[in-house]
Every structure is written in structure tokens, then in C-alpha cells.
Structure 1
């Protein structure tokens, strides 16, 4: 039986270099729809957030169209991320080694990953981003529905709308920060973005950053000897 974070489509392909299937085409499309939706929501939301940022509404055809489009993009984000959640939630379950990895994050940032525990398909930082996004998107869609007057005005009070606007704004700021961390991390770890574009990574990349996952792919028993380092 495959390990909890090994998908049925994850496969190792011998060659020079060795390549490893990490993401299916469907998962990649799902991811980029989510990413695009989040960026569009951030831009349109900032335009509505403060007068000094209202110039961003020109990207969406003006203030009125921005106000109309923004909540619908939120609906797209919710269902798109739901697809990612259903695909990847088991691989993002917290494991004992994740706490140790997080405590030694400084070694990761200094490119000394041999000093941290081997991790599966996702490390502790990626898992924190995943679960943070999960919680924040639920908060955003819930509070967003309360202030979506076009369809739900009759179901909420003014006081509820005021609280919803405050909660929605705070959650939006936090999720933008989480997205920035996620994007920067993807750039920092060279090979991550090409892996999400093509769906494949090199064996050397998998060995360096997600060695436990690679072991689980190449051996019958997770965690047991995976042999020598794959070629870059």
C-alpha cells in the first residue's frame, strides 16, 4: 500500500536525469486557477479597500464592475481551492518530524537540509501554508456572503455586516501575506515552479528536498533504503 503522501500518479522514471512525476495535469490546472483567482481577488479587493488604491479598479473596468466581479471571483477561488483540498489534504497531515523540521527551519534557509529530518511530499512550511489557506478561504467566503448585498442583504443585519467587513478585511490581509510567503518560497527553492508547470521534478531535486517521499516511491516499505542519490 502506498504511503499517505504518495499519489497513484507519482512515479520515478530512470534516465539521465532521473525524473519524478509530482503533479498531474489536472492538479496543475487546478493550482493555477486558484493562484490566478487569488491574485485577481487581491487586486480587486484592494481597490475596494481604500480610496488611495481605487486606481486598481481600472484593471476590471471601473468601480462598479469591480464591485460586481469581486465576489464572483471569490466563488471561483473557493471551489477551485476545494479541488486542491480534496486532492492534497491527506498529504498535508501533520507528522512528528514536521515539528522538528520547523524548529530547524534556519538550516533549511541556509541550504543545510541534511541537518533536518527527511520529509514527505510536503514539508512543514508547505503544510502550514496549506492549512492557513484552507482556514482563511473559509473565513473569506463566509464573511463575503454576509456583505454580498445583491443576493443576501435580506438575511443579515447592519451589525453583522460591519463585523463581516472587519473580519473579511483582516483575513484578506493575512492571506495576501501567506501568498507572498508561498510565492517567495517557490522562488527560493529552485526547481519548484518548473515542477508545478511541467508536473515533473528531477530525482536530485526530490532527493534534496523531499527525500522521504522519494524513498516511499522507490521502495516497497516507506522509509527503508532508497539507494544512492539520483542523478540531477
Structure 2
């Protein structure tokens, strides 16, 4: 268990989409901070079903650990529909997922994480929360530039200057692959947390929850499902060694 932060600035706000990564980040924050709130964004994403999974994940986590129940506070959802309206991507339109000529997948929503973290900081300012936790990752990812460590560090500087606060942006998954993310979930909450994430979280870009796989629900063919499935297979193999 991580050493708990203390003091008046010890509260944390977790960017909580309802997916595997954000669920793991929520467990990480609950293990570390005495007061934790969550924030989701509705931006017209085609996999909006992920937002519907958040309540079950929150309930499940508080049932796993009484200290987590005491620490988990309010949930917030912000409407960022304008982001979806100006984004012509496979996450905000019914179009096939493919690579663009610049090498980025057309699931990249320009400015999404920058907008998310900016609005999160504005909410954290009002809620008197110093720590902001996101599931950005530069290891197993699709090349999104707003997931890179340099982007997050630069944004932390900009937010602190622009809001005259000392926010700390945490990205506990930044240097982990998906197998290590599954392992981190087990380290934080045991196999019960892994099972909860498998059953209740949603990662599939197409928003499909019809078929249940060993790693959870999804189409099994989009990049998000592929990463999640391959990571789960490697996690199980490492666990068996």
C-alpha cells in the first residue's frame, strides 16, 4: 500500500471515464489519498456506454476496502459536447477506425486530454483538491500526442501559472504496459479488483457490450480491445510463472 498523503492539500480528483485505465487510477488514488472525487466527461463519444459503467465501478471499489469507502467522495460529470462537435474522428462519428496519413489513428480527438485536464483543474480549484490523476500512458498507446509525458508536464506548468495554484498531475500508468496495468490492479485490490474491472469497466471504442471475453466486454477487434486483450493474456502468463 502506498504511503498516504496528509494535510489540507491532500485531496485528489481522478479523471474517471469508466474504462480499465481510469478504474485502475481510481484504485491507485484511493490507496494513496484521504479524499478522492471523480470526474467524467460526456463529449459525444460513440462509446458513451463507458460513462454508464462508472457507478458500478465506484460501488464495487468501496465494497472491496472499507478505507476506500471512507475516502471516496463526490462524482462529477461535465458536458463537453462542443469538443465532439468540432472533432471529426472515429470516436465521435460512426466511421471505420483507420490510420491517417500522419500515422495517427483516426480515433485521436485533438485537444481532448488538454481540455480534460484544464476543466479538471478548474473543478479541483473549486473543490480545493490539489492532486489530479489521469490514465494517460506513453507505453501501450496509439501514439496520441496528448498522452505523452512531456505534454502532461508542460500542461501542469501552464495550469499552475494560469490558476496560481500548485496542482500536481499524476499519471501512474505512464510507463506501464497493459499487462503491468492489470498487475497494478491486482497489487492494489487483489484478484477481486481485477475481476471487478473485467466485469464492469468498458474500453471498446465501438461501445459494444454484447459479448463477454476473458478480459471483459467489447468488439475484440478495435485498437482498445486489442491492447486490453493482449495485456490481459500477458498478465495471466506472468502470473502463472
Q: Which has the higher contact order (CA 8 A, sep 6+)?
A: 1
Q: Compare the two structures and name the one with the higher helix fraction.
A: 1
Q: TM-score range by the shorter chain?
A: under 0.3
Quick check: which has more Rg, 1 or 2? Answer: 1
Question: Which structure's residues are more often strand, by fraction?
Answer: 2
- Alignment TM-score, normalising by the size of structure 1: 0.25
